[in-house]
Structure 1
Amino acid sequence: MLRHGGQILVDQLVRFGVERVFSVPGESFLAALDGLYDAGIDNIVCRQEGGVAMMAEAYGKMTGQLGVAFVTRGPGATNASAGIHIAHQDSTPLVLFVGQIRRQDHDREAFQEVDYKSMFGGLCKWIAEVNQTERLPEYIARAFTIATAGRPGPVVLALPEDMLSAMADVPDSTGPVVELAPTLHTVSEDALTWLSGFDRPLVVVGGPHWSAEAAKDLATFSATQNLPIALGFRRQDYLDNRHPNYVGDLNVGVNPKLAQRVRDADALLVIGSRLGDIETQGYSLIDPANPHCAILHVHADPNEIGHVYQPDIAVTADAVSFTRALSRLPASATDWAPWTTSARADYDAWIKPQETPGDVKLEQVIAWLSDTLPKDAILTNGAGNYAAFLHRYFVFKAYGTQLAPTSGSMGYGFPAAISASLEHPEKTVICLAGDGCFQMTLNELSTAAQHGATPIVVVVNNGRYGTIRMHQEKQYPGRVSGTMLSNPDFAALAKAYGGHGETVTKTADFAPAFARAKASGTFAVIELIVSEDALSTNQTLSGLAKS
């Protein structure tokens, strides 16, 4: 049966089980839009391609399924590159379809022409251009396989507009590859035997490939062995933070006592995490050239093992399968109780709010949210000083409740919150954002209004790019340059888009404002007017380590 390329493409998406895509339309992929017309796939039309890619990335991170995005050529693709970088560093499966100029016009610097292989070469797992309509099923099947295999990540397919509009008679792909979880019983036994030879082991869990069942298995394993569990940067929902063996997360503003515990550990069992820059505080907690401790590294991609740290033992396996095997082992004869109990006590002390200046105490707002929200509430954030408060004071209680970029990308939180609200309309979705962070993607308020998303955005307004200002004050004190912000009335802006908006100037007013936002039944923005000093004193990334 003859079909145009856009229909062939969409038919492959249906065959692969895609239920939702994110897009900003472009004339370069009109045939694909035509294919989506009656395909039964939900097309979330966004306002800027950065938001498109971030929503698709959040979808992939949240569901474990592959995120799919469509953007047009040239500026559309360059805008989307921010989300591709997030997906790459966060190990999130994603396929970005980019419209492309006609094949016959290549190398003429035609309107919006870009060499995508050069542009995306270092940002994704694979980039290709499909120049034959009949090969679309082949390329799409390969793209889905590469995006999800090993260490997941983004794949980019460029689609010349004349290729998409051309007709072809070609069979559909056979569908996604079915992978069976490996049997890891013997390997996990060996790992526990190895671990039992150490007095001060620390288990570090992060990376991709996680699930609610994996979180339960990790809880069982840690309780059975009485081992301390530290989670990777922005992977705080991989274990209920109330679990007695949870000892904190290795984030930018890490608990200094947890950092010291990494230094004091004589063995690290690293599951899923790359053990990267943030988790190691710029590779200072563990010297790549001369690690102070033994390392057993478990990762799904063999190319990641030994990339920075040479482990004593390497296991190529996904974190879910390996943790499941660990959870079925009997207790070790080694007693790690004192070491674990001490580490947990450090965490409990760390999350007690430390007072900041001003009439709105962000530490109290976060503590109230932690104590009040349903345990399945989803929290999103981008990057900024405000995020340190969330990571320190919010107690994550269930898997799937944290959406944040390990790449440190500003503007991520709000598109992610829209994606989460559309996927889980029954859940409370909260976006924490700084004033600078929110303004990078707040145009997606219109997307929320159009598609019925109802996240609540808590905007921390201190009139500056807080993190950069903090570093500026440390390195060039008293010489403020390029870090001040002039902000709109965020509450009024939310109302202009048809949502609910409030401004809070005192801590006591936050809870009633939140209740009204929740009751509004629409998206909402609560603007917190915080002291200009609040995010540049003892609660900042540097101050966190001193408090």
Structure 2
Amino acid sequence: MVRHGGRIVADQLALQGVKRVFSVPGESFLAALDGLYDVGIQNVVCRHEGGAAMAAAAHGRLTGQPGAVFVTRGPGATNAASGLHVARLDSIPMVVFVGQIARSDRDREAFQELDYRAFYGPLVKWVAEVDETARLPEYISRAFHVATSGRPGPVALALPEDMLGATAEVADVPPPARLLAEATAAQAQAVLAALAQAERPLVAVGGPHWSAQAAADLVRFAEAANLPVATTFRRQDYMDNTHPNYVGYLGVGMNPALGQRLAQADLVLALGTRMGDTATGGYTLMAPGTPRQRLVHVHPDPDEPGRVFRPDPGIALAAPAMLAALGAARPGPWADWTRAARADQEAWTLPQQTPGAVRMEAVIQTLSDILPEDAILTNGAGNYAAFLHRYFRFRRHGTQLAPTSGSMGFGFPAAIAAALEHPGRTVVCLAGDGCFQMTLNEFSTAMQYGAKVVVIVANNGRYGTIRMHQERSYPGRVSGTDLVNPDYAALARAYGAEGAVVAEQAEFAPALAQALACGTSFVIELRLDPEALSPALTLTRAREMGQGRS
């Protein structure tokens, strides 16, 4: 059948199993929009390309299948870069299709022209431009393969508008018939043999390819072997946080006692995680090169083990495949070590009271007590997130959507993507006043497509994380960190949603109940004391630290 390029693109997406794409429309890919019309793939039209790309990244993280996003040339492509950066650092499969100028106008600095290979090169696994309509199936098949192979990540394809509008008679290319790798007996034995020599082991889990089955296998392995398990930054839903073998997370704002336990360990079994700077306290708890700890590194990218730390051994394999092979581990002599680590975690998660009429530690405790176990929580970046990470108890896999890249603005588009994918589940977005304002224009998207989201806005009138560091480095010299904010509840109502302002702690539980019961999106604005910067730090204390006072 002769088809124009846009229809060929849509047909390939359907073959790859894509049910939904995110986009901001542009004249450069009108033919692709026309193709989507025929094929029936839902096109979620966003209000900014950054929000569209973040939503696609969240979809990829939540489902394990590549999130797809369409943006136009030039400004559209550059706006989307923040979402690609999230996907790259989070190992999320994603494919971005970029409308491109006509082929005949290249290299003339034409309207909105951009060299996508140069611009996207550091952000993606592969970037290409399709010159021939008949090769679209080939390129798209490869794009989805690269996005999901090894360490997953984003891929970018530039689509010249004249190429998309041209016709071709070409066969479709179905998805590859892929056989997933399994752990060999030798690989599993190498891990068990290394553990048998350890006195103070620590299991650190993270990275891609995880599933509910992998989480169950992790629990079974940890229980059988008496091992302590730490998740890495913003991967806390990989293990039930109430389990006796769960000892906390390694990352920004981690329990100092857990950080010291990592430093004291004689063996670290890293399953899927890269053990980057956040997990290792800026490479101070584990030294690059040959760390103090023996590192058994299991990672799906064969180039990762040995890139920063010397592995002993390094195994190129997805973590869930290794866990499936380790299920029959024998008990090790580490029960006391694990119990001590768990005791540190339980002490760390006892709420420490912060100043103000509304206290974030109490808010998170209420969420942890009331929300269903399958509720999906999203967030971007800011000091408010430290309360979530420290005090919320994630119980199931697939319930935490947060960027390891530390990108502000991610939480709200991620929540919209989650609500569209799982309309029957509770979706809660936590955002700071600065974080929410970066992507709150996507409220129109949520309302247009019926995505029901509860947004909890921590309003302290400032960029809290930056202010904290500012007070430490330049105490009392406030510059660039104060915010003037809208009435967020009124703003929600302007979009057709509902909202409430919480100025006293007793008002939060009723507001949450109202939000969960209403039939539309709901914003709860928390009026916080600006004095409270983090679970363990106030503005006054940060300033004293900056002035050298103990």
Same fold, TM-score > 0.5, yes or no: yes
TM interval, shorter chain, is over 0.9
The alpha carbon displacement at 1:273 in A equals 0.1
The alpha carbon displacement at 1:174 in A equals 2.9
1:451 equivalent among 443, 449, 452: 449
Q: How many residues align?
A: 542
Specify the alignment match of 2:298 in structure 1.
298
Q: Structure 1 regions of 5+ residues with no counterpart?
A: none
Q: Distance in 2 between matches of 1:50 and 1:193?
A: 47
The alpha carbon displacement at 1:519 in A equals 1.6
Q: Distance in 2 between matches of 1:54 and 1:64?
A: 15
Identity, % of aligned positions: 62
The alpha carbon displacement at 1:189 in A equals 2.3
1:106 aligns with 2:106: yes
Specify the alignment match of 2:364 in structure 1.
366
Q: What is the SS of the residue equivalent to 1:178?
A: coil
Specify the alignment match of 1:413 in structure 2.
411
Specify the alignment match of 1:230 in structure 2.
230
Q: Distance in 2 between matches of 1:126 and 1:179?
A: 22
**1:436-447 to 2 correspondences below 5 Å:** 436-447=434-445
Specify the alignment match of 1:538 in structure 2.
536
Q: Distance in 2 between matches of 1:355 and 1:183?
A: 47
Deviation digits for residues 151-195 of structure 1 (CA, Å, limit 9, x no counterpart): 000000000000000000111013234223324333112211211
The alpha carbon displacement at 1:299 in A equals 0.4
**1:78-97 to 2 correspondences below 5 Å:** 78-97=78-97
1:144–1:176 CA contact under 8 A, matched in 2: no
**1:184-223 to 2 correspondences below 5 Å:** 184-223=184-223
Q: Distance in 1 between matches of 2:182 and 2:269?
A: 19
Q: Distance in 2 between matches of 1:83 and 1:46?
A: 13
Specify the alignment match of 1:466 in structure 2.
464
Specify the alignment match of 2:131 in structure 1.
131
2:4–2:165 CA contact under 8 A, matched in 1: yes
Q: Distance in 1 between matches of 2:525 and 2:101?
A: 43
Specify the alignment match of 2:335 in structure 1.
337
2:211–2:397 CA contact under 8 A, matched in 1: yes
2:192–2:329 CA contact under 8 A, matched in 1: no
1:200–1:339 CA contact under 8 A, matched in 2: yes
1:385–1:540 CA contact under 8 A, matched in 2: no
2:3–2:168 CA contact under 8 A, matched in 1: yes
Q: What is the SS of the residue equivalent to 1:230?
A: strand
Runs of 4+ aligned residues of structure 1 deviating over 6 Å after TM superposition are 540-543
Specify the alignment match of 1:279 in structure 2.
279
1:143–1:155 CA contact under 8 A, matched in 2: yes
Q: What is the SS of the residue equivalent to 1:121?
A: helix
Q: What is the SS of the residue equivalent to 2:501?
A: strand
Cα–Cα, structure 1 residues 123 and 230, in superposed 2: closer, same or farther, change >3 Å?
same
Specify the alignment match of 1:117 in structure 2.
117
The alpha carbon displacement at 1:536 in A equals 5.4
Specify the alignment match of 1:144 in structure 2.
144
1:254 aligns with 2:286: no
1:508 equivalent among 496, 502, 506: 506
The alpha carbon displacement at 1:360 in A equals 0.2
Cα–Cα, structure 1 residues 540 and 279, in superposed 2: closer, same or farther, change >3 Å?
farther
Q: Distance in 2 between matches of 1:222 and 1:228?
A: 7
The alpha carbon displacement at 1:343 in A equals 0.2
Q: Distance in 2 between matches of 1:40 and 1:536?
A: 47
Q: What is the SS of the residue equivalent to 1:122?
A: helix
Q: Distance in 1 between matches of 2:284 and 2:506?
A: 41
Q: Distance in 2 between matches of 1:18 and 1:540?
A: 47
Q: Distance in 2 between matches of 1:382 and 1:502?
A: 21
The alpha carbon displacement at 1:370 in A equals 0.5
Measured on the aligned residues, the alpha-carbon RMSD in Å equals 1.3
The alpha carbon displacement at 1:290 in A equals 4.1
Cα–Cα, structure 1 residues 83 and 528, in superposed 2: closer, same or farther, change >3 Å?
same
**1:285-324 to 2 correspondences below 5 Å:** 285-324=285-324
1:10–1:32 CA contact under 8 A, matched in 2: yes
Q: Distance in 1 between matches of 2:476 and 2:533?
A: 16
Q: What is the SS of the residue equivalent to 1:218?
A: helix
Q: What is the SS of the residue equivalent to 2:219?
A: helix
Q: What is the SS of the residue equivalent to 1:179?
A: coil
Q: Distance in 2 between matches of 1:423 and 1:175?
A: 22
Specify the alignment match of 2:548 in structure 1.
none
User: What amino acid maps onto 2:233 in structure 1?
Assistant: F
The alpha carbon displacement at 1:522 in A equals 0.3
User: What amino acid maps onto 2:393 in structure 1?
Assistant: V
The alpha carbon displacement at 1:538 in A equals 2.1
Cα–Cα, structure 1 residues 169 and 73, in superposed 2: closer, same or farther, change >3 Å?
same
Moved more, 281-290 or 387-396: 281-290
User: What amino acid maps onto 2:214 in structure 1?
Assistant: A
TM-score when normalising by structure 2: 0.97
The alpha carbon displacement at 1:540 in A equals 7.4
Q: Distance in 1 between matches of 2:15 and 2:360?
A: 47
1:466–1:535 CA contact under 8 A, matched in 2: yes
Specify the alignment match of 1:40 in structure 2.
40
2:54–2:414 CA contact under 8 A, matched in 1: yes
The alpha carbon displacement at 1:128 in A equals 0.4
1:133–1:164 CA contact under 8 A, matched in 2: yes
Cα–Cα, structure 1 residues 270 and 172, in superposed 2: closer, same or farther, change >3 Å?
same
User: What amino acid maps onto 1:80 in structure 2?
Assistant: A
User: What amino acid maps onto 1:109 in structure 2?
Assistant: E
Q: Distance in 2 between matches of 1:234 and 1:214?
A: 17
Q: Distance in 2 between matches of 1:32 and 1:12?
A: 11
Q: What is the SS of the residue equivalent to 1:25?
A: coil
Q: Distance in 1 between matches of 2:314 and 2:538?
A: 36
**1:490-509 to 2 correspondences below 5 Å:** 490-509=488-507
Q: Distance in 2 between matches of 1:537 and 1:371?
A: 19
Q: Distance in 2 between matches of 1:479 and 1:449?
A: 41
Q: Distance in 2 between matches of 1:539 and 1:111?
A: 50
Q: Distance in 2 between matches of 1:390 and 1:537?
A: 10
Q: Distance in 1 between matches of 2:298 and 2:365?
A: 34
User: What amino acid maps onto 1:423 in structure 2?
Assistant: E
2:183–2:317 CA contact under 8 A, matched in 1: no
The alpha carbon displacement at 1:38 in A equals 2.4
Q: Distance in 2 between matches of 1:336 and 1:146?
A: 40
Q: Distance in 1 between matches of 2:537 and 2:428?
A: 21
Q: Distance in 1 between matches of 2:392 and 2:418?
A: 19
Moved more, 179-188 or 417-426: 179-188
Deviation digits for residues 348-389 of structure 1 (CA, Å, limit 9, x no counterpart): 111110000000010000011001110000000000000000
1:388–1:540 CA contact under 8 A, matched in 2: no
2:245–2:338 CA contact under 8 A, matched in 1: yes
Q: Distance in 1 between matches of 2:206 and 2:69?
A: 25
TM-score when normalising by structure 1: 0.97
Q: What is the SS of the residue equivalent to 2:356?
A: coil
Q: Distance in 1 between matches of 2:458 and 2:379?
A: 11
1:389–1:539 CA contact under 8 A, matched in 2: no
Deviation digits for residues 503-534 of structure 1 (CA, Å, limit 9, x no counterpart): 00011100001111122210010000000011
Specify the alignment match of 1:18 in structure 2.
18
2:86–2:404 CA contact under 8 A, matched in 1: yes
Q: Structure 2 regions of 5+ residues with no counterpart?
A: 546-550
**1:343-422 to 2 correspondences below 5 Å:** 343-422=341-420
The alpha carbon displacement at 1:111 in A equals 0.7
